[in-house]
């Protein structure tokens, strides 16, 4: 399994955007479509989607700062920092405007980038992150993020941890996370994501997102897992009252990890929105 991890890393490349160097996984040709993962995760989790969408788009899945194989500076984990990375990457790729697909943290960052640099963005698919997320939900997220910073004896221990933490993820999604999200160290395996970066990022997620949603003018599709514990039905309803013009798709049976739990339905939602 460690060999699989190394192989996965070789399929990626690093892009220096001036302010930071980001690791990306790229395939396909056509209009630019960028993918941004959630907190503690990495670009590999989008593999089932990009494998299908790369027949129509130039798909670039990104390890965001502090995550995966991208740079991990000591500071700079606010929404504006992540959004500036997105803008810098689009300019470096010289292929915008881009369609942005973001899950959780990636959704927050994508909508923020579209609000700050609209000329670089064609549209946004924001998966399971909205304004009005309750404080107790963020408190629970902090606990889960901190719990992941540990030494694992071997890949079997990693998989057992992931299966317990992400109870609805199918086995294939667990395999992807186990193969792509950890590095070998003395005594076992540790997450690639920087613990300090994760703590700062989790704090930054609490910042008020209402002004961003008020400002954004590009088309935004909001996707929520019907069983999401991060985005409550009330948070979604308040967001729709704030921006009644933004379309919403709720995927029944999916929890917060919508694109991994229900990739086929997520794919249809993305395709229908982009085609429209």
- Could you give the residue numbers annotated as active site? 104, 128, 256
Residue 253 has a CB neighbour count (10 Å cut-off) of: 11
Beta strands 121-127; 188-191: pairing state: unpaired
Contacts of 44 (CB under 8 A, 6+ apart): 8, 25, 61, 68, 176, 177, 179, 180, 181
The answer to whether 33 and 98 have CB atoms below 8 angstroms apart is yes
Instruction: For residue 207, give the 3-state DSSP assignment.
Output: coil
**Main-chain dihedrals φ then ψ at residue 147, nearest 5 degrees:** -65, -25
Contacts of 152 (CB under 8 A, 6+ apart): 158, 161, 182, 188, 189, 190
């Amino acid at each position: 399994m460690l060999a699989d991890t190394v192989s996965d890393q070789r399929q990626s490349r690093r892009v220096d955007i001036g302010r930071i160097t980001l690791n990306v996984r790229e395939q396909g040709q056509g209009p630019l479509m960028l993918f941004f993962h959630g907190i503690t995760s990495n670009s590999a989790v989008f593999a089932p989607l990009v494998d299908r969408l790369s027949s129509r788009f130039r798909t670039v899945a990104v390890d965001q700062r502090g995550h995966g194989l991208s740079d991990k500076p000591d500071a700079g984990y606010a929404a504006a920092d992540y959004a500036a990375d997105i803008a810098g990457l689009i300019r470096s790729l010289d292929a915008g405007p881009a369609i942005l697909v973001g899950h959780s943290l990636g959704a927050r960052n994508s909508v923020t980038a579209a609000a700050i640099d609209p000329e670089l963005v064609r549209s946004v698919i924001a998966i399971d992150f909205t304004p009005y997320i309750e404080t107790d939900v963020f408190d629970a997220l902090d606990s889960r993020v901190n719990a992941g910073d540990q030494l694992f004896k071997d890949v079997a221990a990693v998989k057992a941890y992931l299966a317990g933490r992400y109870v609805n993820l199918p086995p294939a999604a667990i395999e992807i996370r186990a193969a792509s999200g950890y590095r070998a160290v003395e005594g076992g395996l540790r997450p690639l994501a920087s613990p300090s970066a994760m703590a700062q990022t989790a704090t930054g997620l609490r910042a008020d997102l209402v002004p961003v949603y008020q400002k954004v003018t590009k088309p935004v599709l909001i996707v929520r897992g019907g069983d999401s514990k991060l985005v409550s039905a009330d948070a979604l309803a308040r967001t729709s009252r704030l921006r009644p013009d933004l379309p919403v798709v709720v995927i029944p049976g999916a929890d917060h990890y919508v694109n991994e739990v229900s990739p086929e339905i997520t794919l249809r939602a993305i395709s229908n929105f982009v085609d429209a």
